[in-house]
A and B are shown apart, each in its own frame.
Chain A
């Protein structure tokens, strides 16, 4: 197999996009999947096909960390070391794997069988500590399952025994999002339709105007569930009504916020809910082309969604003249390649366009000038998955499920030191205490709660006596934190806040795109100070320096990544100051790569 064998498929891929350069990521995947890595020759080949200088192809290859510039092992084992996994012993897991394979992370076994990599959150925190063997998520890992996984790594993929599926809690009773989550193999078209699926889309396409759809969604108080909580109907209304440019609907399936895994369940178990939501949204904004940007590590979710898309095309729910209504809509999956920042909506657009995941300057705003400089709406997977319910059952019913200003339910992802980690559908008015103690069975092993991160790693931390707060956007904002992505990370008394901050700051330092100075330098600086502290070399004045640096990072950057990076620094140190000071005074060192050593 060499590059020229791929010419035909490459041309076919390029044809799917409005701009040649947008085929950058799919072509790099084509190369790596067929030839094992992206060589210099391949970079030149891609550059020629896209009409782009080699330097810019190389930029993409080095920016997206799933691409390899040289040969790697036959199998790749990616061990997740973000906070939720660290809380459940990923440090020990990695140490054991390194011991068994006799290599350090970042290396390949001498027989070139296995490459071992440490990665940031794979968004499977409900099965932490976990890893990814090529395309498969494996977890929770303990000494036994590690051996099974390593054996599977050395076997041929087709011949090995199936890896154990984790036994985590998964909501299945709805009412909005989870009713099909009971199907581990996913929900096929027939079942989806039999349960009332595509009813709402039919109603919309045959009897409603786009304006009416926007009003319905607005009245439902649906808020953006990717993390920002912006009113969805209002966002849709920003698209200019009079423009000759094509309009794009872009689905943000680049789930990456540590502690979050809800979109994965929708993609794997109920993809038609997303598709139906997409059809309704596209109709509302006048779009005829939808891109779904799925993070590169989500191999199975992408396959499941593609299967659903193929079904939808086959059944006349995508393509030209949908169900004879005259409405056209094409949908295309675009896979990322390992960069959390591509979850920022404008970075996501730049990534589709074939560049590094650099957020765009605002103004102009995406609704006016987004993908390919055309009006674009970016919505999260979960947000769109709520839309069919709204249009089938009415805005009032959805609104009534929530609070006065935020309607509906959402999928809460609970991980860390709880008895039952998993994905829980609940009204947005549920309290954090209710979620942890009632739904999740409380803190594990009867331990005491110490702290909770209510909305993904970016969210400011809450102490154990601050959990009587409702989980809607406004309540959590009022409590000085945020609902964010709904990723709830629970920490008990064994958790060390200094280690937790080291984990959080390392995540942000790894994932900063590097475009603007306060974030690029600030995230690296913060992490280096915290690492020095956990290595026992901290000074007391480091704490005020950290607070000052974090405050300086806020409000000055192209996107809010720097603010998000600042929030853990500000909240952990402020709320657990004593613990940090004790740690430094005692010259304490981190016990390992876990977040478990805690001063008494």
Chain B
């Protein structure tokens, strides 16, 4: 393990490590454009130049192998002068597009110039002209003039997606980034090139001109598009309704997690957030007879009364609850505790599988974020009672209350069957975030908070429990499921003295061995592997349905 000194501090690193990685271990940031930990080394931007004692020339930190006793200075006068010179070369032909460039505010040319540039520019010639605003595909826009030819995108499409769309053509200062003439960039991970582009050469078409990045707030959470649970950051604006047509979420970016998605996410997940602000259920909807009085108070009072009535006289309550792998572990735990255990109702999250597309990389066929959690709680999986049975009971008129969480029964069981439910079930409650065919059938429609509007946890397909981070409060009059369930429990006379998801999780962890010794703190921002997992099998690379 070679030991070296960087800026006066010593560190021991693994054999074969580079100076830039060693510096990172010490928390020393060496500026970089072409270097990316997830891609091969290119060494072409030259901005990571550092001074290494006994070497006459500055060395690029990204390719300099560490050696025992090496002494590195990242901020010496020579290193800073070298870096300043490189920056001036990079900015020489770079167009003065900041006022119209989406990257402004998160651009590493701007950032590094402000950090260590601040020189009097000498370039007074006509800049090289190339193509601007070139649509590369559904999601990505290219501006060739802004490109600093770091080749990150070329390496991404060669090494990560292995689709090889990008090339750098011609040579010298006429070199230009592009696709093969006539080709489009439409692989399932195309937008990742926008994340890794250090400048405004590759930008998102969806985000184009929507908002300046300094107006965006950020919250860490996970994507709920499939069971992979890629870590993401939600970027949103709450206090500027004139931006983004008033929608809160402006864009989604992958968040680095070496255990789950590394630095990447798929396009489908990235652009699948529109439902958070459009087509939402915004208020409680009472049965038509009570339309004038659609309040949470009335809803929960009425529903709780019906639940209590159903179990009176010692008979088994005729209550069916169809839960969902869209719910958090905390909410599923409450469903199990309140409906399953306390009430003795029929509870299931085991709905017919509807697998979507998948691949060998991140995309999973199971488009639910918490199937593994539901399985661990006994609500899904081969051993759980199927939800279909509850639907049959309902259609046979043997249920007083049917409560459906987050499912479109029409999509799951077919319109033919489901249409008749209101005739055979006196009280159908639907809890969900958006309108769908089932909301038309329910008596009470309760607007649910979206997963980014509440705290909680999901378990992904590899048995990793991850926190869902609450980015902003629930929209309009929607409420978190866990809050609604705790309210119902109180009205049913159950003493569950948990005040929020964190405390619910603690109870869950005490009750389920795989979660033992876990807490929100130990799960942190990158999640934690569960002790043992039902049917998930580690980081399986095979494209499978789980």
The interface of chain A, by Cβ under 8 A from chain B, is 40, 43, 52-56, 58-59, 62-63, 339, 341, 356, 361, 363, 509-518, 520-525, 528-529, 532, 545, 548-549, 552-553, 555-558
Contact of B168 among A54, A59, A339, A509 (CB under 8 A): A59
| B86 proximity list for chain A (CB < 8 A) | 517-518, 556
Report if B498 contacts A (CB, 8 A): no
Contact size class for B?
35 or more
| The stretch of B88-96, B138-146, B310-318, B376-384 that contacts the partner chain | B88-96
A-B contact pairs, 7 of them (CB 8 A): A54-B183, A62-B169, A341-B171, A515-B149, A517-B90, A528-B126, A556-B86
State whether A518 and B85 are in contact (beta carbons under 8 Å apart), knowing that A361-B43, A528-B126 are contacts in the complex.
yes
Task: Give complex CA distance A510, B175 in Å.
Answer: 11
Task: Give complex CA distance A386, B217 in Å.
Answer: 70
- Closest chain B residue, CB of each to CB of A554: B57
- A517-B45, A517-B47, A518-B86 known; 11 new pairs, CB 8 Å cut-off, are A55-B183, A62-B170, A512-B171, A513-B172, A514-B174, A514-B175, A516-B44, A518-B46, A522-B89, A525-B173, A555-B56
| B45 proximity list for chain A (CB < 8 A) | 516-517
Task: Give complex CA distance A14, B129 in Å.
Answer: 39
Report if B307 contacts A (CB, 8 A): no
| The stretch of B159-167, B330-338, B501-509 that contacts the partner chain | B159-167
Task: Give complex CA distance A557, B175 in Å.
Answer: 17
Task: Give complex CA distance A516, B85 in Å.
Answer: 13
- Closest chain B residue, CB of each to CB of A531: B125
Interface of A is mostly: helix
Task: Give complex CA distance A356, B149 in Å.
Answer: 14
Residues 59-98 of chain B: 1 if any A CB is under 8 Å from the residue's CB, otherwise 0? 0100101000000000000000010011011101100000
The answer on a CB contact under 8 Å between B43 and A523 is no
Task: Give complex CA distance A54, B158 in Å.
Answer: 12
Task: Give complex CA distance A25, B525 in Å.
Answer: 50
| B166 proximity list for chain A (CB < 8 A) | 55
The answer on a CB contact under 8 Å between B172 and A524 is yes
The answer on a CB contact under 8 Å between A512 and B173 is yes
The answer on a CB contact under 8 Å between B164 and A53 is yes
CB distance from B231 to the nearest CB of A (A): 30
State whether A558 and B44 are in contact (beta carbons under 8 Å apart), knowing that A54-B183, A363-B65 are contacts in the complex.
yes
Give the 3 A-B residue pairs with the shortest CB-CB distance, closest first. A53-B164, A524-B173, A55-B167
The answer on a CB contact under 8 Å between A555 and B46 is no
The answer on a CB contact under 8 Å between B123 and A512 is no
| B82 proximity list for chain A (CB < 8 A) | 555-556
| B175 proximity list for chain A (CB < 8 A) | 514, 520
The answer on a CB contact under 8 Å between A55 and B89 is no
The answer on a CB contact under 8 Å between A556 and B85 is yes
Contact of B172 among A520, A529, A552, A558 (CB under 8 A): A520
Report if B49 contacts A (CB, 8 A): yes
- Closest chain A residue, CB of each to CB of B92: A521
Task: Give complex CA distance A296, B372 in Å.
Answer: 62
| A548 proximity list for chain B (CB < 8 A) | 122
- Closest chain A residue, CB of each to CB of B166: A55
The answer on a CB contact under 8 Å between A58 and B169 is yes
| A54 proximity list for chain B (CB < 8 A) | 164, 180, 183
The answer on a CB contact under 8 Å between A58 and B171 is no
Task: Give complex CA distance A553, B89 in Å.
Answer: 9
| A555 proximity list for chain B (CB < 8 A) | 56-58, 82
The answer on a CB contact under 8 Å between B44 and A515 is yes
The answer on a CB contact under 8 Å between A514 and B58 is no
Task: Give complex CA distance A516, B164 in Å.
Answer: 21
| A339 proximity list for chain B (CB < 8 A) | 171
CB distance from B375 to the nearest CB of A (A): 41
State whether A517 and B172 are in contact (beta carbons under 8 Å apart), knowing that A361-B41, A525-B92, A556-B85 are contacts in the complex.
no
Contact of B125 among A56, A341, A517, A532 (CB under 8 A): A532
Task: Give complex CA distance A123, B303 in Å.
Answer: 92
| A523 proximity list for chain B (CB < 8 A) | 172-173
| B171 proximity list for chain A (CB < 8 A) | 62-63, 339, 341, 356, 512-514
Report if B179 contacts A (CB, 8 A): yes
State whether A545 and B181 are in contact (beta carbons under 8 Å apart), knowing that A55-B167, A517-B46, A518-B46 are contacts in the complex.
no
Report if B128 contacts A (CB, 8 A): yes
| A55 proximity list for chain B (CB < 8 A) | 164-167, 179-180, 183
The answer on a CB contact under 8 Å between A53 and B165 is yes
Task: Give complex CA distance A512, B172 in Å.
Answer: 5
The answer on a CB contact under 8 Å between B89 and A518 is yes
| A513 proximity list for chain B (CB < 8 A) | 171-172
Task: Give complex CA distance A555, B44 in Å.
Answer: 14
State whether A552 and B88 are in contact (beta carbons under 8 Å apart), knowing that A514-B173, A514-B175 are contacts in the complex.
yes
CB distance from B67 to the nearest CB of A (A): 11
Contact of A525 among B43, B125, B167 (CB under 8 A): B125
The answer on a CB contact under 8 Å between A528 and B125 is yes
Report if B222 contacts A (CB, 8 A): no
| B148 proximity list for chain A (CB < 8 A) | 517
- Closest chain B residue, CB of each to CB of A56: B167
- Closest chain A residue, CB of each to CB of B128: A524
Task: Give complex CA distance A545, B88 in Å.
Answer: 13
The answer on a CB contact under 8 Å between A556 and B173 is no
Interface centre among B41, B56, B58, B85 (most CB of A within 10 A): B85
| A43 proximity list for chain B (CB < 8 A) | 180
| A558 proximity list for chain B (CB < 8 A) | 43-44
CB distance from A83 to the nearest CB of B (A): 18
The answer on a CB contact under 8 Å between A58 and B180 is yes
The answer on a CB contact under 8 Å between A521 and B58 is no
| A53 proximity list for chain B (CB < 8 A) | 158, 163-165, 167, 180
- Closest chain A residue, CB of each to CB of B62: A361
| A59 proximity list for chain B (CB < 8 A) | 167-169
| B85 proximity list for chain A (CB < 8 A) | 518, 552, 556
Within 8 A of A (CB), among B117-153: 122-123, 125-126, 128, 148-149
| A58 proximity list for chain B (CB < 8 A) | 167, 169, 180-181
Task: Give complex CA distance A36, B170 in Å.
Answer: 20
CB distance from B196 to the nearest CB of A (A): 18
- Closest chain B residue, CB of each to CB of A43: B180
The answer on a CB contact under 8 Å between B164 and A514 is no
The answer on a CB contact under 8 Å between B58 and A556 is yes
Interface centre among A56, A520, A549, A555 (most CB of B within 10 A): A520
Contact of A545 among B57, B122, B126 (CB under 8 A): B122
The answer on a CB contact under 8 Å between A361 and B63 is yes
Task: Give complex CA distance A109, B126 in Å.
Answer: 31
Task: Give complex CA distance A545, B85 in Å.
Answer: 13
| A549 proximity list for chain B (CB < 8 A) | 122
- Closest chain A residue, CB of each to CB of B88: A552
CB distance from B149 to the nearest CB of A (A): 7
CB distance from B74 to the nearest CB of A (A): 15
CB distance from A276 to the nearest CB of B (A): 36
Contact of A516 among B41, B46, B170, B183 (CB under 8 A): B46
| A40 proximity list for chain B (CB < 8 A) | 181-182
Task: Give complex CA distance A37, B166 in Å.
Answer: 23
Contact of B90 among A341, A521, A528 (CB under 8 A): A521
Task: Give complex CA distance A2, B363 in Å.
Answer: 42
The answer on a CB contact under 8 Å between B167 and A514 is no
| B43 proximity list for chain A (CB < 8 A) | 361, 516, 558
Task: Give complex CA distance A224, B43 in Å.
Answer: 27
- Closest chain A residue, CB of each to CB of B57: A555
| A52 proximity list for chain B (CB < 8 A) | 164
Task: Give complex CA distance A110, B398 in Å.
Answer: 90
Within 8 A of A (CB), among B24-52: 41, 43-47, 49
| A510 proximity list for chain B (CB < 8 A) | 172
| B149 proximity list for chain A (CB < 8 A) | 514-515, 517, 520
- Closest chain B residue, CB of each to CB of A549: B122
Task: Give complex CA distance A58, B179 in Å.
Answer: 10
| A522 proximity list for chain B (CB < 8 A) | 89
| B172 proximity list for chain A (CB < 8 A) | 509-514, 520, 523-524
Task: Give complex CA distance A104, B86 in Å.
Answer: 37
- Closest chain A residue, CB of each to CB of B45: A517
